[in-house]
Structure formats: structure tokens, C-alpha cells
Structure 1
Amino acid sequence: MPLTAQQLQAWSRQEAAAAQQVTTATQASIWLTLWAAFTGWYSRPQVSDLAARSVRILQPARQQTGGLGAAYVREVLAGLDAVREKAPAINLPAARLGADLEQVYSRPAEAYRLTYALTEDTAAATTAAQERLFTLVRDDLTVARRDGEMLQMRASGVTHYRRIVHPELSATGVCGLCLAAADRLYSVAELLPIHDRCKCTVAPDSDTADEAVSIDLDQLYEDAGGTDGAALKRVRYQVNEHGELGPVLGVEGQKFQRQGDAPKGDPIARARRELAALEPVLDSLESRAAAGEDVAGPLAYQRDRVAKLRAITA
């Protein structure tokens, strides 16, 4: 029996849900086993060691997620052609386009230090570090799944594919960017443009895929709990090239910061605003140090940061 649009949607949902399970488990593993009880936020050697250990947990999860993407595409192609596709070697491209992953996975510590510098609140700083880590893992595994799908389609001779949206996987429904981007055909030479928390999957181009996309869009507003369809349909998107993640979706006209670009806005005005926020915290830390409290790590960071900002504003 030929693959139906409803079956394709079901398989697509299963792939997305399985990838989400791997992502959630990996986030929890890295956070709970490494970062949750970490106290060396101001020690570069300790942060580097934790980042390296984080990457060692991440890499098998990338392979697993890429394998899920490839297996899903094989199932779809088998359903369309009644011929079982061979599995290609899952040789994923280097994560983050070859960026130094240990440096990337040191960013939770940067988030901690900056948040503590602004708030002097350990709980808020820890939450910022956790959110940064979870975003890194989520983005890297989303890209790995996309890469696995692309590898299988190219190995199988697929030339074009469709984007399948998943309003049922988000509490607020599918975003307008994905909805707008779903209404076109992609060449396999193009990587699927994604964004943070993107739930979209793909399907090799066929009449079944066209019908599946149509059903998704027709059911979108009911599944999304009454999302304003007119507003979503007015969304226009553009594809930007992220320095680490590849193609990402953005709102049309949005200025996108690329690696090597000059910072947005007036750097002196920005430095003045940050300095105004940091100087009172520096005074507080110095008072606490004078009273005998051990705040050497945050105090050193704060002094260095304030000195740099004062140099900019001068």
C-alpha cells in the first residue's frame, strides 16, 4: 500500500519526538553530572575541563540524532518506492562548522559570570548558565538531525524536499517563520533553515509530501489553539547564514550579526549603560571583601570588566 500523507505525518512526528527525547536526556546528563554542582566559574582551567567533558557527552548524542534523521528518511523513501534504502555512513559534518567546541561549551560560565556581575545573585547566574547550556545542546542536536536527513536524501538520489511543520510539538503552535518557509520546495543542495527551538522535519518531494504539507497547514490553527492565521500568513522570512549553525530563519528585513561584523549600535553608549549597572555591584563586592568574605573570583572579574568599560567610555 502506498504511503499516505497521514502516515508520513505520523512518521515525521515520531522522528521529531525521538530527537526531542535525545535532546532532553543530553541536556539533563550534561547539566546534572557536570555543571549543576560546579563552583569554579571563575577558573579558566576548571571551565575548560568541564567544557571538554560536556563535548564528550554531546558527540554520541549528535551521532544518535543524526542517525534518527537518516532512518526516518529511509522509512519514508521505502514507503514511497517500496524499495528499502541502504543506510549511509553517518559521517556528520563538524559541529558548528568547525568552531572550537570546548570554547563554545565554555559559554555557560560566561553567562554565569555576566549575570552575577549584573545582579550579584547566585541563583540567577546559575539559571543563566543552565539556559545557555540547554540552548547550545538543543541547537547542536537540531543541526545533527538535519545533517542526518540531508545525508540520507543525497545518498538516495533525492533532489528536492519539503519542510514539515509540527504545531503539535509546541505549546503555542508553530511559529510564523516556519509556516511561511513551509510553503516552498527546497533543493537538497540547500540545508534546511532552522531557528532556536525549531521542531520542523523534512520529507522527500512527492505528491504525498505535498499533501502532508497541505494537511499540516490546514490543521495548523486548530492544533495551535486558535493562533491568528492571518497574522502568521503575513510573516515574511529571510534566510541568514549563521557563523556556527549554517542557514537560520529570520524575519524579513532583520539585521543579522555575522562573525566579523562591527557591533550594532553605539559601543560607547552601550558601555556606559553596562558600566552604570556594574559599578554599584563592584562597590558591593569590594565592601564584602573588606568584611572578610571570600569573593575573590567575582571581584577579579568585575574589576577587569569595569576597567575595560571605563577605557571604552573614556
Structure 2
Amino acid sequence: MTVALSRLDRQYGASVRSVWSTVLGRVNLSWSGLNSWRDADAAKFRRKTLPILLAGERQIATLTASYLEQLYKEVDAKAPRISLDLDAVTGKALRGVDPNEVYERPFTEIYTALSEGVPLDAAVDRGGHRLETIAKTDLQLARTHTVREVSAGMPRFKYTIRELQGEYDCALCILASTQRYSKKDLAPIHPGCDCLVKTVEADYDPGQVIDEQKLKQIHAAVDAALGQSDRGGRALDYRKILVTNDHGEIGPILGFAGQHFTSRTDIRIPT
């Protein structure tokens, strides 16, 4: 069960990537333009950057809602227009945490690195990497939250699947693209993931695995890389190479078995 990308898919994907490029470019420019990283500079950075990020999230949410609406018209021409509360799928709604607190974390990353004796340039690089990861995650969360919110009102759509479409495709995304997910579940993500989340109509449950051939190819790749394989799942449970971890703040994340993520109570910025 492989779904080819349509012209609509490609147009939507290109539009989202354009928003990503613009927003991340402006955020990184603001970061690189800082002359110091003290508290006053951090506050100034957030005042300038958070409106840019919020605007990007709202653009992605609007594009996603319009995309899903057009998809649904193909199966139900009489479906009513979508009414989406953008505040419910952007900003604080994404994590349940004030964005001001979230975007303090890149600066805290710098301070922590400096306290460990890391040179300033390297510490700033660490902070910049943390910033980019956070920003990419929030932009992707705006999409997945919108998919969940909008598809809830589309009874003929039963599942969501992930379609690979960009230069950021990785092993985790390839594995995930062989699976189907219930539309009520937030699609698993990782920072920088640009997979297309597609809603699909189905008269029956196709089962968790929807692309057995691709999964077999992944099994072969694991065998080639690790030097062992076991189709019976006794020595190596290939299905557990991809797991869904509850981050606590941003929801499900794609990861490898054995990874651990902080819970919401673990993520606190010292005052």
C-alpha cells in the first residue's frame, strides 16, 4: 500500500518547505547577529524571533488545513469548509509551555557549556544547534497538531501515513513510512523531519505494516549493517528498531529502542 505523491501533495510540500526555509533563515540570522549572549541579549532575541516563529507556525497550520480540505473534497464533495482555531495548534498549544521559556534554552545551553570549560565559540555553536532543533520541532508540531485537529472532523478518513518527500529523509522516516497510524494519534516526529502526513480512506484496517516490500528492504539493510538477521524476531526484533517515545512535552518522537527522553517535569530552566 504505497501512495504516490500527487500534484497537490507536491505543491503543499513545496509551500511548507518554503515557509521552513524563510523562518529558519531569519531565526538563524538573528542568532548569528548577536554580539553577546547575556540575559538582556537573550530577551531581545526572543522579542524579535518569537513573532517570526509564530507567524511561520500559523502559515504551516493554514497550508495544512487547506491541503486536508482539498483532499477530503475528493471523497466528499459536500463536506463543509474547515474552521480551524490557529491558537489551538500553534504557540503555547504545541508544548503546553510558554515559548519564552522554550527559547531561553539555547542560551542556557551556552551557559552550561561555558560552566564546563567549553570555549565560547563552541558553546555558541551548541546553543545554535539547540535553537535550530527547537525551531524545527515547533514548525513540524504545527503541522501534526493541525492534521490531528482537522482530520477529527473528517469521518471518511481513518488513518494517516507518512510519505517521504525531501532531502531530510532518514532511516527513521523510511521505517515509519511502512506503517499506518490512527488519525487520532499525533504523528511521531523528529526534529527536521519533513515527511508528508497524508490522511487516507480505508474500508478495512490494512494492519500496522502497509509496505511489506519496503520493510523487507530495511531488514536487508539492517542485516548488511549489523551482520545479523532473524526474521523470527528472536535475536533481533526489527520492529522495535523504531519505537515511539513519549517526550512529555512535544509528544511522540521517533527514536531507537534504548533512547530515553526527559519528561515535562525534567525540563525546567533555572531562574
Normalised by the length of structure 1, the TM-score is: 0.65
Aligned residue type for 2:199: P
Is 1:234 paired with 2:238? yes
Distance 1:140 1:100, change over 3 A: same
The Cα of 1:26 is off from its aligned counterpart by: 0.8
In structure 2, distance between residues paired with 1:83 and 1:194: 32
Within a 5 Å distance, the mapping from 1:67-216 to structure 2 comes to: 67-83=62-78, 85-91=80-86, 92-93=88-89, 94-118=92-116, 121-158=119-156, 160-166=158-164, 168-170=165-167, 173-176=169-172, 178-206=173-201
C-alpha deviations, 1:236-295, integer Å up to 9, x for none? 232222232112222234333323369xxxxxxxxxxxxxxxxxxxxxxxxxxxxxxxxx
Aligned residue type for 1:52: R
| Structure 1 residue matching 2:264: 3-state secondary structure | coil
Aligned residue type for 2:105: R
In structure 2, distance between residues paired with 1:15 and 1:221: 30
- Out of 50, 54, 70, the residue aligned to residue 59 of structure 1 is 54
Aligned residue type for 1:248: I
In structure 1, distance between residues paired with 2:98 and 2:160: 32
Contact 1:160 1:188 in 2 (8 A): yes
| Structure 2 residue matching 1:98: 3-state secondary structure | coil
- Out of 15, 19, 35, the residue aligned to residue 18 of structure 1 is 15
Q: State the match for 1:38 in structure 2.
A: 34
The Cα of 1:117 is off from its aligned counterpart by: 4.4
Distance 1:95 1:83, change over 3 A: same
Contact 1:77 1:83 in 2 (8 A): no
Contact 2:180 2:210 in 1 (8 A): no
Within a 5 Å distance, the mapping from 1:274-289 to structure 2 comes to: none
In structure 2, runs of 5+ residues without a counterpart are: 226-236
CA RMSD of aligned residues (A): 3.5
Aligned residue type for 2:221: D
Give the number of equivalent residue pairs: 247
Aligned residue type for 2:101: Q
| Structure 2 residue matching 1:155: 3-state secondary structure | coil
Contact 2:188 2:254 in 1 (8 A): yes
Distance 1:115 1:16, change over 3 A: farther
Normalised by the length of structure 2, the TM-score is: 0.74
In structure 2, distance between residues paired with 1:95 and 1:23: 19
In structure 2, distance between residues paired with 1:230 and 1:18: 38
Aligned residue type for 2:201: S
Contact 2:56 2:139 in 1 (8 A): yes
| More displaced stretch, 94-103 vs 253-262 | 253-262
Is 1:27 paired with 2:24? yes
Greater share of helix:
1
Aligned residue type for 1:63: R
Distance 1:206 1:55, change over 3 A: same
Is 1:251 paired with 2:256? yes
In structure 1, distance between residues paired with 2:249 and 2:223: 33
C-alpha deviations, 1:50-82, integer Å up to 9, x for none? 223321221111110111211221122123344
In structure 1, distance between residues paired with 2:245 and 2:118: 36
Identical residues among aligned pairs (%): 24
Distance 1:256 1:116, change over 3 A: closer
In structure 2, distance between residues paired with 1:66 and 1:145: 6
Contact 1:165 1:199 in 2 (8 A): no
